[in-house]
Chain A
Amino acid sequence: GESVGLHLPTLSVQEGDNSIINCAYSNSASDYFIWYKQESGKGPQFIIDIRSNMDKRQGQRVTVLLNKTVKHLSLQIAATQPGDSAVYFCAELDPSSGSARQLTFGSGTQLTVLP
């Protein structure tokens, strides 16, 4: 079936550097994507989203890029801070189920910020 996957399971970056977390999706009909952050012992927290009619969306220190040609999604975190250490999930909204459509989550990338 269709799936959402992440290129790298772990990523370590120096504090202050920029982080890039990648995600590949396989359902070309997906029309909405979300990045979630999950800190240890907590539930996933919404970071940023993007619709399929956009290529880029910016938030506070975060940017999501969508490349529909290669079905690739990335999350860029500027000036990475220790508090950014977490598991990051991309999620894809499958439109095929109509009103009962659900999110399909990737397996996650563990981001570790080094001092």
Chain B
Amino acid sequence: DSGVTQTPKHLITATGQRVTLRCSPRSGDLSVYWYQQSLDQGLQFLIQYYNGEERAKGNILERFSAQQFPDLHSELNLSSLELGDSALYFCASTVGGTLSGANVLTFGAGSRLTVL
């Protein structure tokens, strides 16, 4: 158990729908990162939050949004879902806001989203 908790583990929905993925970072970690992993693809960085504020944005679609709450948990909202959104969505956390040798990512087990 990495200490990063993601729910739900599996989610099946239909095109056009909206889903919310939830992440609780490791105790003491202030930063949350969201990644998308499609079939046979590497991990694509979506967005980072640090202590409630957006820190960095990657290849996140406009249909997707995220936020980090005062208790530091984060939610990733995916709307107007398309078949191509089917993927594993990972959350990772770090203590600080800047990645470095002393501040590496700890990943959760992921949420598998299937869009039918």
Chain A positions near chain B (C-beta within 8 angstroms) = 4, 32, 34, 36, 41-46, 49, 51, 89, 91, 93, 97, 99-108
Whether, in the assembled complex, B28 has its beta carbon less than 8 Å from a beta carbon of chain A, the answer is no
- Interface pair A100/B55, CB less than 8 Å apart: yes
Q: In B59-116, which residues have CB < 8 Å from any A CB?
A: 90, 92, 97-101, 104-110
- Interface pair B98/A99, CB less than 8 Å apart: yes
Given contacts A44-B43, A105-B42, 14 further A-B contacts (CB under 8 A): A32-B99, A43-B92, A43-B108, A43-B110, A44-B90, A44-B105, A93-B100, A99-B98, A101-B99, A102-B33, A102-B45, A102-B48, A102-B99, A107-B40
Whether, in the assembled complex, B58 has its beta carbon less than 8 Å from a beta carbon of chain A, the answer is yes
CA distance A101 to B104 in the complex (A): 12
* B interface bracket (residues with beta carbon within 8 Å of A): 20 to 34
Residues of A contacting B4 in the complex (Cβ-Cβ under 8 angstroms): 43
- Interface pair A100/B48, CB less than 8 Å apart: yes
Residues of A contacting B108 in the complex (Cβ-Cβ under 8 angstroms): 43
Residues of B contacting A105 in the complex (Cβ-Cβ under 8 angstroms): 42-44
Partner of B41, one of A43, A46, A104, A107: A107
- Interface pair B2/A43, CB less than 8 Å apart: yes
- Interface pair B42/A43, CB less than 8 Å apart: no
Residues of B contacting A51 in the complex (Cβ-Cβ under 8 angstroms): 101
Partner of B109, one of A41, A49, A108: A41
